[in-house]
């Protein structure tokens, strides 16, 4: 049940905002204040004639409005008798429901309209055009708030493209450290010039990328490099490993398929009653061919599986230097290529291995950044550069091994007494601070799908609305403890920010001149 209730403070707010239709019982601004002041005059024993002369009416008119105000107060006093499931809605409250349904519930325009209609009150009914126009205004207002947020605290950027229902690209950029979304803009294409224009606009807001992480999209790489020529271009490990992992998995599937066929032929041959028949002889020949090829195929798959696991280990923090990693990776890829060449049906694996070798320098660029940060931090702390190198090398050996203990002893000899734990902590912070993948932007793209799936085309203003909503939403849980209870906006700026709807209200979205602000 929807019951419209009026509190004195709400009535006063309505009067001050110039909305006379919100007054109950036939009141207008003049009669309401006449009754209110008349009641006050009666309480302080001030003659009612003074009030009637001030308003230019008869005393009876003043008493009439006092009685009407008393009736309104009686209705307010009766509120506790109203069922507990009633709700009080104002225009602003309905607007907030629309925003919550659109952004948190991922509801379509028709869905929002139906929800408002189920409240069974004419004051809550809204046309689809009204809802669409309201969301567009809110999006334009959100875009203005976003433009006012400085981006000079962002030095790492994960960039990608996602396509909406109309097959138009949405350029997306996320700070992997704070998870703040600095770019969410739909474009007509994804050419290098388009990406460059988007990045140049963000540079005006203070964005200064030192590391740009992305897939191998040519337009993306070209545009970001043009805008930030000094930035390290890091290829996303997820895409690189996915591309080479698929043909490795297909090699496994093919091997198991051939093995199953061999077992099937062997079983059929054992059941054959006429071993001398032509069909039986063909089956026996085919089985012999399988038995000759299968062992070598299984051996190659085992080798390929081991090499692929080593490759995955090398693209993590393995404890080896950049040159050591590049040398080991070259050998691993050459061995994988030798395996794939022996089987003509695995030509896709050969193609992906060669492609991986071409991408290897930019894929492993994070190791160079890691050692550069080690050197800078060692110099700042007044330590030999070799200290962090020795601590990092421990990642390549077992913690229980003598080699691990020896590396620890060597590092300790270069560190002031009692400072080992502190230096180890700094080392771990540097390692965890190095970004290798654009998983955060992939997460954002996945969350965008919920909005794209309900619309054929999402407007620019709605993307601005979603961008601010995601940035102002506080983490309820996170694998990174420092993020819990904070929004990306707070993590970026280091200051407290209200959540999305409160943020709009704080910036004056529902002020009377809102239309002029977003025009």
72 versus 344: the higher-pLDDT residue is 344
Q: Which pLDDT belongs to residue 15?
A: 45
Q: Which pLDDT belongs to residue 79?
A: 56
Alpha-carbon torsion (346, 351, 357, 363), positive or negative: negative
Q: Which pLDDT belongs to residue 13?
A: 46
Q: Which pLDDT belongs to residue 26?
A: 46
pLDDT at 75 over 80: no
Q: Which pLDDT belongs to residue 441?
A: 84
pLDDT at 62 over 80: no
Q: Which pLDDT belongs to residue 516?
A: 44
Question: Which pair of structure tokens corresponds to residue 185?
Answer: 């803009």
Q: Which pLDDT belongs to residue 1?
A: 30
Residue 275 pLDDT class (50, 70, 90 cuts): low
Give CA separation, 200 vs 159, 170, 196, 225, 378, in Å. 14, 17, 6, 11, 35
Q: Which pLDDT belongs to residue 272?
A: 64
Distance CA 27, CA 71 (A): 12
Q: Which pLDDT belongs to residue 395?
A: 93
Using CB atoms within 10 Å of the CB of residue 270, give its burial: 0 to 12 exposed, 13 to 18 middle, 19+ buried.
exposed
DSSP 442-465: HHHHHHHHHHHTT-SS--HHHHHH
Q: Which pLDDT belongs to residue 30?
A: 64
Quote the pTM value.
0.74
pLDDT digits (tens, 9 = 90+) for 146-204: 999 999 999 999 999 888 767 788 999 999 999 999 999 988 888 999 999 999 999 99
pLDDT at 247 over 90: yes
The mean pLDDT of the chain is 84
pLDDT at 517 over 50: no
Neighbours of 154 (CB within 10 A): 23
35: helix, strand or coil: helix
Q: Which pLDDT belongs to residue 121?
A: 67
Q: What is the mean pLDDT of residues 399-404?
A: 93
Is residue 186 within 8 A of residue 458, CB to CB? The reply is yes
Q: Any idea which of 30-39, 194-203, 233-242, 491-500 has the lowest mean pLDDT?
A: 30-39
Distance CA 112, CA 105 (A): 10
> Nearest-CA neighbor of 337 among 316, 295, 308, 364?
308
Q: What is the mean pLDDT of residues 329-357?
A: 93
- Which residues lie closer than 8 Å to 36 by C-beta, 6 or more apart? 69
% of the chain beyond a pLDDT of 90: 48
Q: What is the mean pLDDT of residues 261-266?
A: 79
64 versus 102: the higher-pLDDT residue is 102
Q: Any idea which of 50-54, 275-279, 376-380, 452-456 has the lowest mean pLDDT?
A: 275-279
Is residue 231 within 8 A of residue 435, CB to CB? The reply is no
Q: Which pLDDT belongs to residue 406?
A: 94
Distance CA 119, CA 293 (A): 71
Residue 285 pLDDT class (50, 70, 90 cuts): confident
**Tokens 């490993």 identify what position?**
241
> Nearest-CA neighbor of 186 among 459, 471, 442?
459
Distance CA 77, CA 74 (A): 5
pLDDT at 322 over 60: yes
Q: Which pLDDT belongs to residue 448?
A: 87
Q: Any idea which of 159-163, 275-279, 306-310, 412-416 has the lowest mean pLDDT?
A: 275-279
Is residue 380 within 8 A of residue 433, CB to CB? The reply is no
Distance CA 468, CA 145 (A): 8
Q: Any idea which of 56-60, 143-147, 322-326 has the lowest mean pLDDT?
A: 56-60
């Amino acid at each position: 049940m929807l019951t419209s209730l009026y509190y004195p403070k709400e009535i006063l707010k309505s009067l001050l905002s110039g909305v006379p239709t919100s007054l109950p019982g036939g009141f207008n601004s003049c009669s309401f204040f006449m009754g209110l002041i008349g009641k006050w005059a009666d309480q302080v024993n001030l003659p009612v004639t003074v009030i009637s002369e001030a308003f230019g009416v008869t005393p009876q008119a003043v008493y009439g409005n006092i009685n009407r105000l008393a009736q309104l107060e009686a209705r307010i006093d009766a509120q506790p008798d109203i069922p507990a499931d009633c709700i009080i809605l104002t225009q602003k409250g309905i607007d907030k429901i629309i925003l919550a349904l659109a952004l948190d519930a991922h509801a379509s325009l028709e869905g929002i309209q139906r929800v408002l209609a189920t409240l069974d009150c004419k004051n809550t009914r809204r046309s689809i055009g009204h809802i669409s126009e309201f969301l567009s205004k809110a999006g334009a207002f959100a875009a203005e708030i976003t433009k006012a947020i400085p981006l000079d605290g962002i030095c790492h950027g994960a960039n990608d493209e996602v396509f909406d229902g109309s097959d138009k690209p949405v350029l997306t950029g996320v700070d992997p450290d704070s998870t703040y979304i600095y770019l969410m803009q739909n474009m007509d294409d994804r050419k290098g010039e388009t990406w460059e224009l988007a990045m140049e606009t963000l540079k005006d807001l203070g964005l200064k990328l030192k590391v740009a992480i992305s897939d191998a999209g040519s337009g993306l790489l070209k545009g970001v490099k043009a805008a930030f020529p000094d930035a390290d271009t890091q290829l996303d490990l997820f895409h690189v490993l996915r591309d080479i992992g698929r043909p490795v998995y297909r090699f496994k599937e093919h091997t198991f398929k051939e093995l199953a066929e061999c077992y099937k032929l062997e079983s059929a041959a054992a059941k054959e009653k006429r071993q001398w028949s032509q069909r039986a002889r063909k089956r026996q020949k085919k089985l012999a061919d399988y038995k000759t090829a299968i062992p070598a195929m299984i051996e190659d798959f085992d080798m390929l599986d081991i090499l692929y696991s080593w490759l995955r280990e090398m693209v993590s923090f393995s404890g080896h230097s950049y040159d050591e990693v590049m040398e080991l990776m070259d050998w691993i890829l050459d061995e994988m290529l030798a395996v794939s060449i022996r089987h003509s049906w695995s030509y896709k694996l050969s193609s992906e291995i060669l492609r991986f070798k071409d991408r290897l320098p930019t894929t492993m660029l994070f190791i160079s950044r890691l050692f550069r940060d080690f050197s800078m931090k060692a110099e700042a702390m007044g330590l030999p550069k070799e200290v962090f190198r020795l601590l990092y090398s421990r990642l390549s050996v077992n913690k229980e091994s003598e080699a691990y203990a020896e590396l620890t002893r060597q590092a300790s000899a270069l560190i002031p007494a009692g400072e080992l734990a502190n230096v180890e902590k700094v080392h771990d912070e540097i390692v965890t601070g190095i970004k290798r993948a654009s998983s955060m932007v992939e997460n954002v793209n996945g969350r965008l799908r919920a909005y794209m799936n309900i619309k054929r085309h999402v407007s620019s203003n709605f993307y601005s609305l979603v961008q601010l909503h995601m940035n102002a939403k506080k983490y309820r849980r996170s694998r990174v403890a420092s993020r819990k209870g904070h929004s990306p906006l707070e993590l970026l700026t280091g200051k407290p920010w209200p959540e999305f709807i409160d943020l709009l209200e704080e910036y004056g979205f529902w002020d009377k001149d809102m239309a002029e602000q977003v025009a």
